[in-house]
Structure 1
Amino acid sequence: MSLIKGLHHAALRCCGKAEMDSVIEFYCRVLGMKRLRTWGEGNQAGSMLDTGNGVIELFSDAEPGRRPEQVDHIALATDKVDERVAACVKEGLAVTMVPTDIVVPSEIPYALRIAFVQGKAGEIIEFFHER
């Protein structure tokens, strides 16, 4: 029996409340997530967004000058990789890997369509579709 039930959340530190609000607005409006809860004020603010089967937790207290890619990447499951990337491009986000079909040569070949963009706080977002 596994002691782990699944991934609960990935955390992302934003440089201030304004950046955090921009990240929340993007994830909710463009990617369709829902805000679960918000707390605190200014550089002590936080929020949780519902991904559908996990949570992205945001904090507003990152140090200015923090490096992008603090989290290696956040993989979001979707049936519409190309459409999600197009929505991100419309928002001005940089595409770091265009939508691509791959097969991971595991015991049972794992066919995927994936793409990567850089998010509003420097995070890398992967759109991930199991074929």
Structure 2
Amino acid sequence: MLLGFEHVGMTVSDMDRAVAFYCDLLGLKLALRKQVDRGEMGFFDTGTGMLEVFAPTTKTVDRFRDVPNHEAGLRHITFAFSSVDEKFAELEAAGIEVVERPRDAFHKEMIQRVAFVRDHDGILVELIERAPGRTS
């Protein structure tokens, strides 16, 4: 029996910068951070699942590559906020790379507002407001 969504794993170039972005700016909670073989691991709690982050000790972590439409792969990670406009303004003021400013969403049944930014490694992060009445 399925219990729920657990986590998505990703690689970053610097754990301190990941904590600063995902915890300090986006509001995730650092549940675990520790040294492991070949790097450092962190588990960031969203309240409804986790983001597993690995920062290798190597200094040659390449910037995130957007997945072309004709390739399989993960395209972005998404976090829901009570106000996309407020969160976006906070991120923009902090100097976070903007991809798409807040706008009304295309799939109004699921999402009311949407915006896109990139973290320090270029990972595409979608910010959304859920459609009215939607709880998950």
TM-score, reference length from structure 1: 0.80
Unmatched runs of 5 consecutive residues or more in structure 2: 68-73, 132-136
AA aligned opposite 1:8: E
Equivalent pairs: percent with the same residue? 28
- Asked whether the 8 Å contact 1:42–1:60 carries over to 2, the reply is no
Aligned partner of 1:92 in structure 2 is: 95
The alpha-carbon distance between structure 1 residues 69 and 47, as it changes in their structure 2 partners (threshold 3 A), is: farther
Aligned partner of 1:80 in structure 2 is: 83
Unmatched runs of 5 consecutive residues or more in structure 1: none
- Asked whether the 8 Å contact 2:25–2:91 carries over to 1, the reply is yes
How many residues matched? Answer: 123
CA shift for structure 1 position 117: 0.3
SS in 2 for 1:48: strand
TM-score, reference length from structure 2: 0.77
Which has the larger helix fraction?
1
1:23 equivalent to 2:18? Answer yes
Q: Deviations over 1:45-74 (max 9, x none)?
A: 100011110111110127432434475211
Looking at structure 1, the residues matched to 39 and 111 of structure 2 have their Cα atoms a distance apart, in angstroms, of: 42
Moved more, 32-41 or 47-56: 32-41
CA shift for structure 1 position 25: 1.5
Looking at structure 1, the residues matched to 66 and 24 of structure 2 have their Cα atoms a distance apart, in angstroms, of: 22
Which of structures 1 and 2 has the larger relative contact order (alpha carbons within 8 angstroms, sep 6+)?
1
